[in-house]
């Protein structure tokens, strides 16, 4: 059983924060931003950019003014 002295059963970082957390959180943002930037975005056939309504409603947070169809 676990009596408190079996340190091989304690996960890494127990009792202290992970030293790599300050590096990993910004890195996740960078990876996601790069994936979004490099993705080949395109509209379905027959839909044009001029037809899209991207107007926003005012408020504490940003919401679409009309529902996405």
Name which residue leads in pLDDT, 27 or 57.
Answer: 27
Segment 5-10 long-range contacts (CB within 8 Å, at least 24 positions apart): none
Output 31 or 16, whichever has higher pLDDT.
Answer: 31
Q: Which residues pair with 28 in a beta bridge?
A: none
**Cα distance between residue 30 and residue 36, in whole Å:** 10
Q: What is the pLDDT of residue 61?
A: 78
Q: Average of pLDDT values for 47-61?
A: 82
- State residue 26's pLDDT score: 86
The pLDDT tens digits for 18-47 are: 677 778 888 999 999 999 999 988 888 988
Is the pTM of the predicted complex or chain greater than 0.85?
A: no
């Amino acid at each position: 059983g676990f009596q408190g002295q079996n340190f091989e059963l304690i996960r890494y970082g127990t009792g202290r924060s992970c030293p790599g957390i300050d590096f990993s959180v910004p890195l996740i943002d960078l990876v996601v931003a790069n994936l979004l930037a490099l993705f080949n975005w395109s509209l379905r056939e027959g839909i044009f950019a001029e037809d899209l309504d991207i107007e926003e409603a005012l408020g504490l947070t940003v919401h679409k003014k009309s529902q996405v169809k």
